[in-house]
Amino acid sequence: DAKTTQPPSMDCAEGRAANLPCNHSTISGNEYVYWYRQIHSQGPQYIIHGLKNNETNEMASLIITEDRKSSTLILPHATLRDTAVYYCIVSDSNYQLIWGAGTKLIIKP
């Protein structure tokens, strides 16, 4: 079973920041949090990952709470092309990625 919990769907207005939450209350100390997204009929695309500290790259920012039990992916200026399913993933004890159903993010004009 997936080790993360995400809302099934969210809407966001174009140009606004999209904040996608994820709960991973059973995460252990050496497990990373990964975010991927999947645009319809394409392979998953890596977005960002983190261990303890907040991370930022050209696509997004990842905010991880101090207790590491939850995180938020932030797309700072959402565009219509950001409409996708977003997956928050924590690895299992064998360092394999266990995927849930993700959050379907719809960016509205």
Partner 1 sequence: DTGVSQNPRHKITKRGQNVTFRCDPISEHNRLYWYRQTLGQGPEFLTYFQNEAQLEKSRLLSDRFSAERPKGSFSTLEIQRTEQGDSAMYLCASSKWTGDYLRDKTQYFGPGTRLLVL
User: By the criterion CB under 8 A, which residues form the site for partner 1?
Assistant: 2, 30, 32, 34, 36, 41-46, 49, 87, 91, 94-102
Q: How far apart are CA 53 and CA 68, in angstroms?
A: 9
Smallest gap from Cβ 39 to partner 1, in A, equals 11
> Cβ closer to partner 1: 93 or 109?
93
Smallest gap from Cβ 34 to partner 1, in A, equals 7
Q: How far apart are CA 12 and CA 18, in angstroms?
A: 6
Smallest gap from Cβ 55 to partner 1, in A, equals 11
> Cβ closer to partner 1: 81 or 96?
96
Q: How far apart are CA 83 and CA 63, in angstroms?
A: 21
Smallest gap from Cβ 94 to partner 1, in A, equals 7
Sign of torsion over alpha carbons 6, 33, 39, 98: negative
> Cβ closer to partner 1: 36 or 78?
36
> Cβ closer to partner 1: 45 or 65?
45
Count of CB atoms situated within 10 Å of the CB of 74: 16
Q: How far apart are CA 64 and CA 74, in angstroms?
A: 11
